[in-house]
Structure 1
């Protein structure tokens, strides 16, 4: 096991060394170099992999593609899926060297160590080792390393399109995210949109000639504050708690001696399973307009959502979830399912009809942080867990 620990540390270190900040963030090169490294890793273990194009190359970044490694099974119309994203968030504000992996006190530090290269390293090693000992499993076993999870989920969306186009039945999937080695079966969705007030610009020395767009925004902010209180006191999910709403950004005015003709806020609404995103947006807008009544001279604009991701949950009685829980118990881990407030690729796989759990090393509290790290012992345990689940789901077809 000491040699496996060293292999995992080396693999994770190599992943951290490669800058894969999402290309949608300033200065981010994208996943190209990391994807090429993963291709070489998979092929060095004698396994087949292919590129799934997602986002074409442009002036600011190279081609962005998913890396799909596949262990063929006796049935090609069904597959078990391991999935992890290759991109990270920005390194702005980090207090440690982001791409110089450092081991200290049983932790490995660097951007992506926790979210989610620790899980990616454990999955890659587990997938390769499983393939070596199970050359002909009953169904295909697929390792999907995807792009763009940290911005707009284009990688997993393309993966789901592929599954549906080929008619392959996903019998189960594990998505690597930092869950502290807990099985996650539910996550909140997210809905984001903007609300804008439009007034009339004027010089501040003659402000009576203008209509200030910032003043009515104070009423709108109070409305959203009360909406949050209403949600806190409302329906609560057993794993996720209540829904929530937050005003995260406000922009208004050009300079101090102008009467501002525009003010804008951005809304982040966290959804519960069963909530329809469009109905939530429409209902919130209706209540806001009712509350405000007629705003003299002010035009209120409630813009369509620019990000929509419905909440996700998988029934605990689902056979795949039961298998995952048994694997946790046999590994000495806590098998009680959890819910999480953050989004991930799991919701898209779930909507594509694939029973899915989220599981991985590290804590979400360290993800995206100024000092990002993951416990090496958790990476080791995640490796063992992924291997254990694969053996349970697709484990006959061993050598000899």
Structure 2
């Protein structure tokens, strides 16, 4: 079978794996997991299928080492965002001008193709002492239930997440915390202001305070590579009809966090903002609900996996790779929390979640070569 990452990427793009939690009616990971399972089994991997959530499978493929070596996990997600916003055929991979186009080409079926080919090449070179583990996971684009399920049953001495990074090495990224603030009013006929309390108008005071909170964060102490945390209102719902005072106004707040911050610290900050309003704004009251939250990530650059990949990347690129931090969240944080030292490294390209998406084919080949050498070195 071919060990060309571009050919494998074409096959992956052609399969709809849009996340149904984001795009109602999305196909999910069943078909793409089946294709990957067949490919990995044919290349000698021991394949485990995890499917706590029916229709949302993740795969863990293992090439057992001879013993006494370090194990390495490569992690990539199988799901994509929806297809509806894509201009052209999202499932029709097209190569032109050194780029391959299609939904997921950049985010991140290119990384999945590279890690599968690299693992097959590295294990085909001869016996490695350490295990090589491929985690092809579901649901990263929504709640990362796939990686969470994998980490309940599998571990490794180190990991590489092959999210796209323009062949630059990502050693830190932000986290996030979502909260729902329900500002409470009192329903009444629109002709009876003496009886009603306008929850939407009261929510306006909170929105002003939220903006001021954001300014304080921007002026605060910054992380060396990630800057400061941020906060914004992302969704607002309130009211029932024009002639009624609204009893409730729900505002969803997202707080992006940097190392040293987490959902608990954000909860305390947000509660302080809201409690101040209860003492300064007449008839202001609220309920607060904590939603999904994910921790920020910061790798130790002295870890062996970081040094190993940097060495092989420099050899392949002809110069030391750029070390960067990302504002978005990735599964690196879950791996790190599970005690697995990790980093992020992936292809060049663009258009993640956009109307046109592409990966640079030369960078895909280079990524595959770097991963192959890193696996061979780390697991020997």
Task: Place the TM-score, normalised by the shorter chain, in its bin.
Answer: over 0.9
Residue 383 of structure 1: CA displacement?
A: 0.8
Determine if contact 2:167/2:321 at 8 Å carries over to the other structure: no
- The answer to whether 1:146 aligns with 2:146 is no
Q: Secondary structure at the match of 1:27?
A: coil
- The answer to whether 1:88 aligns with 2:80 is yes
330-339 or 114-123: which moved more? 330-339
Match of 1:368 among 309, 334, 353: 353
1:208-227 pair list within 5 angstroms: 208-227=194-213
Residue 144 of structure 1: CA displacement?
A: 1.1
Which residue number corresponds to residue 398 of structure 1? Answer: none
Match of 1:121 among 110, 113, 122: 113
* Structure 2: distance between partners of 1:121 and 1:289: 50
* Structure 1: distance between partners of 2:33 and 2:106: 18
Determine if contact 2:93/2:102 at 8 Å carries over to the other structure: yes
* Structure 2: distance between partners of 1:296 and 1:185: 47
Q: Secondary structure at the match of 2:181?
A: strand
Q: Deviations over 1:10-43 (max 9, x none)?
A: 2111111111111323111210100000011112
* Structure 2: distance between partners of 1:88 and 1:282: 34
Residue 288 of structure 1: CA displacement?
A: 2.7
Residue 46 of structure 1: CA displacement?
A: 3.0
320-329 or 352-361: which moved more? 320-329
Q: Secondary structure at the match of 2:113?
A: helix
Which residue number corresponds to residue 20 of structure 1? Answer: 17
1:130-141 pair list within 5 angstroms: 130-134=122-126, 136-141=127-132
- The answer to whether 1:269 aligns with 2:255 is yes
Determine if contact 1:219/1:292 at 8 Å carries over to the other structure: no
1:142-291 pair list within 5 angstroms: 142-163=133-154, 170-291=156-277
* Structure 2: distance between partners of 1:322 and 1:208: 69
Q: Secondary structure at the match of 1:237?
A: coil
- The answer to whether 1:38 aligns with 2:36 is yes
318-327 or 283-292: which moved more? 283-292
Residue 115 of structure 1: CA displacement?
A: 0.6
* Structure 2: distance between partners of 1:77 and 1:32: 33
Question: Structure 1 regions of 5+ residues with no counterpart?
Answer: 396-400
Residue 76 of structure 1: CA displacement?
A: 7.4
Q: Deviations over 1:146-195 (max 9, x none)?
A: 111111111111111113xxxx5x22110011111111111111101111
Q: Deviations over 1:255-294 (max 9, x none)?
A: 2232211111111111111223212212321233124415
Q: Deviations over 1:369-396 (max 9, x none)?
A: 111111111211111111121122024x
Q: Which runs of 4+ in 1 moved over 6 A?
A: none
* TM-score normalised by L of structure 1: 0.90
Q: Deviations over 1:87-132 (max 9, x none)?
A: 1112232222211112222211111111100111111111111121
Q: Secondary structure at the match of 1:20?
A: coil
* Structure 2: distance between partners of 1:323 and 1:82: 14
Q: Deviations over 1:166-225 (max 9, x none)?
A: xx5x22110011111111111111101111111112232334431110111111111111
Q: Secondary structure at the match of 1:14?
A: helix
Determine if contact 1:188/1:273 at 8 Å carries over to the other structure: yes
Residue 77 of structure 1: CA displacement?
A: 8.6
* Structure 2: distance between partners of 1:180 and 1:73: 31
* Structure 2: distance between partners of 1:209 and 1:10: 68
Residue 334 of structure 1: CA displacement?
A: 4.1
C-alpha RMSD of the superposition? 1.8
* Structure 2: distance between partners of 1:37 and 1:29: 14
Question: Structure 2 regions of 5+ residues with no counterpart?
Answer: none
Q: Secondary structure at the match of 1:331?
A: helix
